[in-house]
Structure 1
């Protein structure tokens, strides 16, 4: 099996002494032992950097698509880094507002649009 190029992983990803994947300083084997698998591991530093990169490239109109992943921590992170939040359901709106994202930073749209 070929090794996965580190360029496809978060910025902080490294390979540990035993060949294990380290993300954000966390040993993923230890995380799997502690929390079980499957396990989603998000690297806050990487997410913040990508948000800042998008805002720097495109300006203040960058919208984070909450359908990609949404919880209060992610909503707060994206807003702190200058992104607006794209919401399409009452649930997404509620999570964003509960995270402290001001309503004027939310872009509301509907599903199933047709002419």
Structure 2
């Protein structure tokens, strides 16, 4: 849960790097929250809580994916692969790859930096 909150604290931070754990823990809690809100929306026969949450997490979700791409040494513009057929599969593979161990143009290795989490 602390990884999820850390990403939300850095709401629109597209610079820097995000390690795999940060990205996947955020994604896990995001999916759980989406499932709970979808269940609530179905139970009360309205999609308003679900849609509000989806709109609220678009920017942090994009930001953490861009930082994850930075960790693998790729530009955030690779995120545009998501709009072409099967591009999401490529983004999934990139998000599963281990980040570069050395300092790259996007910053130091986040595994070596002290985490407050």
Q: Same fold (TM over 0.5)?
A: no
- Answer 1 or 2: higher relative contact order, Cα 8 Å, separation at least 6: 2
| Higher percent of residues as helix | 2
TM-score normalised by length of structure 2 = 0.26
TM-score (norm 1): 0.26
